[in-house]
Amino acid sequence: MTPPSSPVFDAWLAALEARHLADLRFPEVVRALRALSSTYVERRARLASRGSLDTDGKRAAFALYYGPVHWLLVQAIARALPGALAPARRLLDLGCGSGAAGAAWATLLTPPPAIAGLDLHPWAVREATLTYRHVGLDGEARRGHAERARWPRADAVLAAFLANELGEADREALLARLLEQAHGGARVLVIEPLSTSVAPWWPMWADAIVRAGGRADEWRHDVPLPPIVTRLADAAGLRPKGVAGRSLWLPGRG
């Protein structure tokens, strides 16, 4: 069971709500959330270019709905994995999106690591940098293809909800680089949705990670969701039940 939300999480979420709803009405965000959810399920070709974030409403929906859910899931997983809370000097947040997933892991570590985000979409780069700074992390995001760009040296590498949005060649390249990072000593955490239709490649990745000394897990945590998430879900006709996902974990070795 995930512990109750922290003051850092609550303050970050309150700031998100104030900022994203300053110029948008709640019904506009609800409509955008419906469209965004449909994109993730039915129009997945738009995900590789971050075409799903092409309006203010969709960006607000992503930040206010998916961001908090990803935060809670990542923290639940990190707390459960042996070695995931060991100190790190730098955390690399691949496909960082709004920065929620990377910040969720980094804020559990003592002392907090510097953080570097990488994402293709310029809005995500700006949003993630704001997230890192708001929760007291030293670092920023920059623009680039997570599977191709030069990665800064890091002790911990996170790829959350990224691989399912890539084409086959880019996904294979990403896996090879993640394995290389773990072989070099970095801890590697991959998180994806439970849906097998979203990630039919998952068994191959899981086999590669396990053979390299890691583990594969599925997670379902029945936790209270923040009020803004519940309000959006109810209005959009979504039925989230806590947080759920699957993970691959490589503890790293020299």
Please tell me the distance from the alpha carbon of residue 81 to that of residue 88, in angstroms, as a whole number: 15
pLDDT of residue 41: 55
**The pTM of the whole model exceeds 0.95:** no
The answer as to whether 114 is a domain residue is yes
Instruction: Tell me, yes or no, whether 90 lies in a domain.
Output: yes
pLDDT of 4:
53
> What is the rounded average pLDDT for all residues in the chain?
92
**Class of residue 168 by CB neighbours under 10 A (exposed 0-12, middle 13-18, buried 19+):** exposed
**Which amino acid, one-letter code, is at 139?**
G
Considering the chain, what percentage of its residues have pLDDT values greater than 90? 84
Residue 183 domain-assigned (yes or no): yes
* Residue 1 in domain: no
Question: Cα torsion at 169, 171, 172, 174 (round to 10°)?
Answer: 120
Separation of CA 106 from chain center: 12
CATH of the domain at 203: 3.40.50.150
* Residue in the block written with tokens 């996170």: 158
What's the total number of domains in the chain?
Answer: 1
Q: What is the pLDDT of residue 52?
A: 77
Domain of residue 200 covers 7-250
Give pLDDT, residue 42: 47
What's the CA gap between 156 and 169, in Å, rounded?
A: 24
Domain-embedded: residue 205: yes
Q: Which amino acid is at 185?
A: G
Q: What is the pLDDT of residue 126?
A: 97
Any domain includes 106 = yes
Residue pLDDT tens, the chain, 254 long: 445 568 999 999 999 999 999 999 999 999 999 999 887 754 434 445 456 788 999 999 999 999 999 999 999 999 999 999 999 999 999 999 999 999 999 999 999 999 999 999 999 999 999 999 999 999 999 999 998 999 999 999 999 999 999 999 999 999 999 999 999 999 999 999 998 888 999 999 999 999 999 999 999 998 899 999 999 999 999 988 789 999 999 998 74
